Amino acid sequence: LKNYYGHKNVALSVPCILDSSGVSEVIKVPLDRSERKKLDKSVKTIKKYISTNLATNFLNPLSKVSKNI
């Protein structure tokens, strides 16, 4: 996403309109304060998980494999 309630550089499932060339419009659903806080928490969790696991797997791609051997 480029800017969805202030969030960017994260992959989220959000409603959108698709056409033959891909996403033509992202639909910004109105969120109340509680929903916005939950979205913010989800984005934070996703980014933390990706940065932690991507760094681990990139630097040592066999780290999970070697634990199972």
CA distance 46 to 23: 22
CA distance 37 to 61: 34
pTM (two decimals): 0.68
Q: pLDDT tens digits for 22-59? A: 999 999 999 999 999 999 999 999 999 888 887 666 66
